[in-house]
Amino acid sequence: MENEFGLIEIKLLKDDKVIKETLSRIGIANLKTKTIFPSCYLYTHFGKNYIVHFKELFLLTRENGYNNVSEEDKKRRNAIIFCLKKWGLIEVEDSLIEPHNIKVFVLNHSEKKEWKIEHKFNVNNLIQE
């Protein structure tokens, strides 16, 4: 289900820690410096779960958050949601994640220690209800 902010509601099929860890390894990668910038996060609000692009989190958490979420950002978010669904981690309504040709970088779990994960949003400051 999509809410008034355009967020896509998902149902967790695995523990939320698994989803969060997996999302930390999906995003934009700098292969030269072995740095990955996660694109999306699990956001829980009033008992509902959403996968959100980090730019959407700025809109949700800051009064003065400016809307610079591009169509490409939304397509990348949807591609990531598609992957999570394909891997059996979540359930989501198919019509909300339209077919795409977006490729996303997924860091293999076994290589995680060799890479730096650099977040564009400090999720530790995110109060979730």
pLDDT tens per residue, the chain (129 residues)? 444 467 899 999 999 999 999 999 999 999 999 999 999 999 998 899 999 998 888 777 766 656 678 888 899 999 999 999 999 999 999 888 876 788 899 999 999 999 999 988 766 555 554
**Which helix or strand (DSSP H or E) is residue 58 part of?**
helix 54-61
pLDDT at 5: 60
Split into its structural domains, the chain has a count of: 1
Measure the N-to-C terminal CA separation of the chain; round to a whole number of Å. 19
Range of the domain at 60: 8-125
In a domain, 94, yes or no: yes
* 80 in Cβ contact with 40 (< 8 Å): yes
In a domain, 1, yes or no: no
The separation between CA 75 and the C-alpha centre of its own chain, rounded to angstroms, equals 11
pTM of the model: 0.86
